[in-house]
Amino acid sequence: MFNLLRMDLYRLLRSKSVYICLASLMAASVLCFWMVWLVDTPEGQKAAARIGMSGIVEIEVEDTRTGEAVEPGSMLEGYDTLLMFRDIGMDGGAYVSIFGIVIVLFFCSDYSSGFMKNIMSLHRRRWTYIASKLTAAAILDFCYLAIEFGFCLLLNVLFHNLVPAAPASDVLFYLGLSFAVTMGFAALFLLACTFTRSASAGIIAALVLSTGLLVALVSRVTGLFGLNQWVSYTLYYNQTYAPSVYSGIGDLKGFAVGAVFLALYAVLSAVVLTRKDI
C-alpha cells in the first residue's frame, strides 16, 4: 500500500487541477476580503468612489430589512477570522465543491488513462486501493484547509486587520470538524467514481451533493410528512451548520457523522470495485 500511496501523492503533486482549484479558492478569498473592505471601511468607500463603485457600495451597505443606511464597520460586528473563513466558502459548499472536483478528477484518472488494469494486477487486495486513494485525499484536504485558512489570516493582515483573530482553540476545533466532514464527502465522491467510472458524472455528483441540492429536494418531500429529522445527520448539514466553538458533547456530532459516512462509503466503494470488472 505504501508504494501505491507514494504513486498517488506523486500524481497529485504533478496534477494541474490541484493548483488551479487552490488558486480559485485563494482568488475567492481575495475577492471577498476586498469587497468587504470596500463596503465596510471608510478607506474602502473612498477607494470605491475613486474607481467609480460608489453607487454599488451605497446599495450594499443598506440594511436589507429596513432599507436604512448602515454605518461603516457595523457589518463586521461580531466577526472574526474564523467566521470570515466560513463565509468565504465553507458554509455554502464552495470549498467542498472545489475539493470534490479535484479528487474526482484524481480518482477517475486511473480509468481514463487505462492504468487501472495495471494497478489491479499489482494490488489484488482492492481495499488497499481504496485506502490509498482516501489517504491521498486526506493529505490534500488537510493541506487545502491549512493553506486556505492561513491565506485568510494573511489577507486580514494585508487589509489592516479587518476583523479580529479567532481563538486558536476555536480554529483547531472547527478545522478538525471540517476535515472529518469533508473526508466523508471524499468517500462519497469515491463511491460515485467507482460506480460510474466517469469524471463528468463524478463532478456532477460532487456539485449536487456538496451544495445541498439533493438534501433540499428530498427534504421538501419528507417535510410534507414531518420526517425531516434525518437532515441534521447529513454531511451537508454538519458542514454548513457546524458549530464554531466547542461548548458541549453535542458539538462533536459532526465528527461522528463524518467518520460513519467515511467508513460506510469506503466499504461500499471496495465492494463495488470487487464486484465490477476492471
Q: Are 179 and 142 within 8 A, CB to CB?
A: yes
pTM as predicted = 0.87
Per-residue model confidence as pLDDT tens digits over 29-44: 999 999 888 887 778 7
pLDDT above 60 (res 201): yes
The pLDDT, as a whole number, for residue 122 is: 57
Distance in angstroms (rounded) separating the CA atoms of residues 168 and 75 = 23
Per-residue model confidence as pLDDT tens digits over 147-195: 999 999 999 999 888 889 999 999 999 999 999 999 999 999 999 998 8
Quick one: average pLDDT of 72-97? Answer: 83
Distance in angstroms (rounded) separating the CA atoms of residues 243 and 55 = 36
pLDDT above 60 (res 86): yes
Identify residue 107 by its one-letter amino acid code: F
pLDDT above 90 (res 2): no
Residues with Cβ within 8 Å of residue 97, at least 6 apart in sequence: 206, 207, 210, 211
Per-residue model confidence as pLDDT tens digits over 25-79: 999 999 999 988 888 777 877 777 777 665 555 544 444 444 555 555 556 777 8
Q: Are 247 and 166 within 8 A, CB to CB?
A: no
Mean pLDDT, the chain, whole residue set: 85
For residue 69, what are the β-bridge partners?
A: 62
Q: Are 75 and 40 within 8 A, CB to CB?
A: yes
Closest CA to 145 of 191, 98, 202: 98
Quick one: average pLDDT of 122-147? Answer: 87
The pLDDT, as a whole number, for residue 146 is: 96
The pLDDT, as a whole number, for residue 123 is: 56
Per-residue model confidence as pLDDT tens digits over 210-267: 999 999 999 999 988 888 899 999 999 999 999 999 999 999 999 999 999 999 999 9
Distance in angstroms (rounded) separating the CA atoms of residues 262 and 203 = 19
> Which residue ranges make up each domain of the chain?
2-18+80-275
All cell numbers assigned to 21: 482549484
Quick one: average pLDDT of 135-145? Answer: 95
Q: How many residues does the chain have?
A: 278
The proportion of the chain whose per-residue pLDDT surpasses 90, expressed as a percent, equals 54
Closest CA to 20 of 99, 138, 127: 99
